[in-house]
Every structure is written in structure tokens, then in C-alpha cells.
């Protein structure tokens, strides 16, 4: 089977600077310097976008995500120039979701108001915790008061669609402490919550000097208690670490998880682009270090790889199995142009382990649609807990 139409297209924009690098962060982020020029970086982003345009001629952007780093270190004027430049180069659907990540330590009422007025319609606030001592252990530049104040200012500025980032499994954290963070967050009625486990990654300060974290059993207890509490408050879990009110899933991230296409501009950004005419899916990576990126914005690509059928199948599964709804066989075929038979062996192993489940047996008598269209495969609770082991089965 050959794809006839390309998947939905999103745009990711990376801002690599932070006021201070957090000890747990392994993202491409750098402490901002005194000689930093936001105008130069915005100009480089637009030059980067220019050289990407031939790859997506005629296609429309469905969502924009400005991430980092800490994008809110840029002024509203710089973000306005950036978005205006994007709009003049790419068609964007009406009412497209445009998200900006913000750190509570880098915002004020005027800044939030101006972000809202220039077209940012979704904020993602990096709270991580409301516990003062925990925030200090995490090396955050904000405290409890700043976290509360940032949320209040966002609401006052007009943002009714916002995400709060929180972590669990934090140093010396208990179940009660984790639930208190969630309770505090939900008093502000956010439309979306990202609640994810702190993991110790290589090339971080925490990797060199590990903090004392809860053991695996306690982390699992925290996770189950938090999931139950959020469900009781009508926040449904649709992905491993994503919870939303009905109708408020993050459209940009959903496009990733449903194997959509995306442009990526900025230092260290990467992209996945499908060429229907050529029948190829290609992944691109941009220069990682900001200084080198600024010098090469007219040609910032460091690598481009045409994905093999095995790569495509693995990447589809790595994304789709994160979603609690899983995927249908039709979605797999339409997104990858592959037949399900190519992953049948690992699927059977995952079924046998109780990690995946299919509704095929319940569809034997279905008449209104073919089984190919409505068969759904999804991860079980145990599969979600051991997702890395599940995905290992699909590695070529």
C-alpha cells in the first residue's frame, strides 16, 4: 500500500536558553548569557524555516509548539516577530493550537497579557512541584509563591487553556506529598495536566550526584494513587503522563503520538516529513549547539535519514502504545503504508505476556465494518508499567 495523502503537519520551535540549567534536565538547554541576542536567534529561526519550506509546499500547519529551554525568556515582541514570520511563510489552520512553554520565574502580568494578545492560545507552565523544599532540591528558580502567582497571572491574562507540568517520584516524596501537589494544581482548574515521573538521565548533574529517590514500589503506589485521584476529578488519562478535561487533549502532542509529520526549527530540533510522491518518510536533525546553529541557520541540518519499513513500524509503535486508546489496524496501515503482518510476531509475544490486548474476539460478529477497520490494539495496565519491555519486542 502507498500513502495517498500526507499526515497532519505540526511545527515545533526550540528555544534553547534557560535562566539556569536544572540538575535533572537532559534537554538541549543552556544557561542564557549576557551577550544573547533574541533578535539574532529569531532571524535564525526564520532562515531555518525558509530552507525547510520546499519539503512541505502546499501543506497546512495544524499546531505550533514553542518549547525549550525556557521560551518565556524571550520578550513578547520577539515571539510576535517569530509568529508573524511563520504566518507569512506557512498556511496555518484557523484557531490552531499555539502553545508556549513558560517558567514561573520568568513571567509577569504584562508579559502574559502580551503573549495572549499576539496569538498564544495555550500555555504550558513548568511548575514541577508546589512544595518549597522539593523545588529547592530540584534546582528550580521559582518557589511555591511564584508558582501560584504565575498560574493566577495566566488566568487573569485570559488563558483558559493551559497545562501544568508536575513531576512525581521526587526526592523524599511520599504519597501524601504527591497528592498535595495534584490537589493544589487542580484548585486552578487547568484544562490539562502533565504528571510524569522524575528519571535520572545521563549527562545531568543528578546523574553524577544522584538524589535519594523513592523506591520502585513507592513510586508505583504514588502513581496509582495519583491516577485514581485525577480520574475522580474528571481528568482522564489519555497518554502515559498526560491528563485532560474532556476535549482538551494537547493537539500538538497527539500529532506526535499518532505518527503525524512535524517540522522542527531551532538548535537541536528534529523533524519527520513524509513525501507522498516519493513514498518516503525522512527524519531531519538540526545543529545542536546554539552558537553553531546561529552561524549555520541557512543550512542547519546535520543529518537526514530515510526511514526503513522496520524503522517506521517501530516508531509508530513507540508512539501509539503510549496512548491509552491504542490504535486501530486501519490507523497503522494508513499512517505507515505497511500491513499489520510485519509486526505480527512481536504482537503475539506481547499478547502472551499480557502487555497488549486486542478487541478482535469481540468483533467476530460485527457486520457494519470490516474487522480491519475497527480492530483496536492497546496497552494493558501491566504493559504501561513495563512499556520499555513491550517496545523492545518491536526493535528489528
Which tens digits make up the pLDDT trace of 114-155? 999 999 999 999 999 999 999 898 888 888 899 999 999 999
The confidence score (pLDDT) of residue 226 equals: 98
Average pLDDT value over all residues in the chain: 92
Q: Are 358 and 377 in contact (CB under 8 A)?
A: yes
Residue 194 in contact with residue 165, Cβ under 8 Å?
yes
42-69 mean pLDDT: 96
* pTM (2 d.p.): 0.94
Percent of the chain past pLDDT 70, that is, above it, reads: 96
What's the pLDDT at 1? 61
Tell which residue, 268, 272, 261, 262, has the closest CA to residue 44: 268
- Specify the pLDDT at position 373: 53
Q: Are 91 and 60 in contact (CB under 8 A)?
A: yes
Per-residue pLDDT averaged across 42-51, rounded?
97
Written as nine digits, the cell of 204 is 545531568
268 near 16, Cβ under 8 Å?
A: yes
pLDDT in tens, 249-279: 999 999 999 999 999 999 999 999 999 999 9
Q: Over the stretch 299-327, which tens digit does the pLDDT of each residue have? A: 999 999 999 999 999 999 999 999 999 99
DSSP string, 200-234: --TTSHHHHS------HHHHHHHHHHHHHHHHHTT
How many CB atoms neighbour CB 210 within 10 A?
A: 11
Average pLDDT rounded to a whole number, residues 102-114: 87
- Give the helix/strand (H/E) hosting 83: helix 76-89
* Torsion angle of the four alpha carbons 328, 329, 332, 337, in this order, in degrees rounded to the nearest 10: -150
**Cα 74 to chain centroid, rounded:** 20
Res 394: pLDDT: 95
DSSP 74: S
Q: Rounded CA gap, 107 and 142, in Å?
A: 11
Task: Tell me the pLDDT band of 232, cut-offs 50, 70 and 90.
Answer: very high
Please name which of 208, 216, 181, 177 lies closest in space to residue 195, comparing C-alpha atoms: 181
Name which of 203, 189, 172, 173 is nearest 234 in CA terms: 189
With 0-12 CB in 10 A as exposed, 13-18 as middle and 19+ as buried, what is 85? middle
Reported confidence tier of residue 363, pLDDT bands at 50, 70, 90:
low
* Residue 357: per-residue pLDDT: 95
DSSP 133-147: HHHHHTT-S--HHHH
Give the chain's domains with CATH numbers: 9-255 (3.20.20.70), 327-396 (1.10.10)
The region of weakest confidence among 1-15, 16-30, 309-323, 353-367 is 353-367
Residue 370 has pLDDT above 80, yes or no: no
Taking the CA atoms of 371, 377, 381 and 383 in sequence, report the sign of the dihedral they define: positive
- How far is residue 308's CA from residue 321's CA, in Å, rounded to a whole number? 20
Q: Contact, 28 vs 268, CB < 8 A?
A: yes
Q: How confident is the model at residue 298 (pLDDT cuts 50, 70, 90)?
A: confident
Amino acid at each position: 500500500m502507498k500513502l495517498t495523502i500526507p499526515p497532519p503537519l505540526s511545527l515545533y520551535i526550540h528555544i534553547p536558553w534557560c535562566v539556569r540549567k536544572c540538575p535533572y534536565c537532559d534537554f538541549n538547554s543552556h544557561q542564557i548569557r549576557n551577550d544573547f541576542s533574541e533578535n539574532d536567534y529569531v532571524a535564525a529561526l526564520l532562515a531555518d524555516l525558509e530552507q525547510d519550506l520546499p519539503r512541505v509546499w502546499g501543506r497546512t500547519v495544524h499546531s505550533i509548539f514553542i518549547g525549550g529551554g525556557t521560551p518565556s525568556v524571550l520578550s513578547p515582541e520577539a515571539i510576535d516577530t517569530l509568529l508573524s514570520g511563520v504566518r507569512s511563510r506557512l498556511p496555518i489552520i484557523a484557531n490552531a493550537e499555539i502553545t508556549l512553554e513558560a517558567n514561573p520565574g520568568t513571567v509577569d502580568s504584562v508579559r502574559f497579557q502580551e503573549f495572549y494578545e499576539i496569538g498564544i492560545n495555550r500555555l504550558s507552565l513548568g511548575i514541577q512541584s508546589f512544595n518549597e523544599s522539593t523545588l529547592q532540591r530540584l534546582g528550580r528558580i521559582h518557589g511555591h509563591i511564584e508558582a501560584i502567582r504565575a498560574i493566577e497571572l495566566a488566568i487573569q491574562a485570559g488563558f483558559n487553556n493551559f497545562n501544568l507540568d508536575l513531576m512525581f517520584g521526587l526526592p523524599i516524596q511520599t504519597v501524601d506529598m504527591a497528592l498535595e501537589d495534584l490537589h493544589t494544581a487542580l484548585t486552578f482548574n487547568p484544562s490539562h495536566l502533565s504528571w510524569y515521573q522524575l528519571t535520572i538521565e545521563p549527562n545531568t548533574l543528578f546523574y553524577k550526584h544522584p538524589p535519594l529517590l523513592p523506591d520502585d514500589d513507592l513510586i508505583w503506589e504514588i502513581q496509582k494513587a495519583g491516577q485514581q485521584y485525577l480520574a475522580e476529578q474528571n481528568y482522564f488519562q489519555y497518554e502515559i503522563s498526560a491528563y485532560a478535561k474532556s476535549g482538551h487533549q494537547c493537539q500538538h502532542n497527539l500529532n506526535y503520538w499518532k505518527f503525524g509529520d512535524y517540522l522542527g526549527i531551532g538548535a537541536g530540533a528534529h523533524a519527520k516529513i513524509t513525501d507522498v510522491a516519493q513514498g518516503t518518510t525522512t527524519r531531519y536533525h538540526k545543529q545542536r549547539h546554539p552558537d553553531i546553529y546561529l552561524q549555520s541557520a541557512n543550512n542547519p541540518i546535520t543529518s537526514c535519514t530515510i526511514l526503513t519499513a522496520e524503522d517506521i513500524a517501530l516508531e509508530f509503535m513507540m508512539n501509539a502504545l503510549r496512548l491509552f486508546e491504542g490504535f486501530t489496524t486501519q490507523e497503522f496501515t494508513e499512517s505507515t503504508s505497511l500491513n499489520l503482518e510485519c509486526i505480527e510476531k512481536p504482537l503475539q509475544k506481547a499478547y502472551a505476556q499480557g502487555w497488549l490486548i486486542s478487541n478482535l474476539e469481540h468483533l467476530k460478529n460485527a457486520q457494519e465494518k470490516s474487522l480491519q477497520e475497527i480492530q483496536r490494539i492497546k496497552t494493558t495496565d501491566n504493559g504501561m508499567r513495563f512499556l520499555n519491555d513491550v517496545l523492545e519486542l518491536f526493535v528489528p
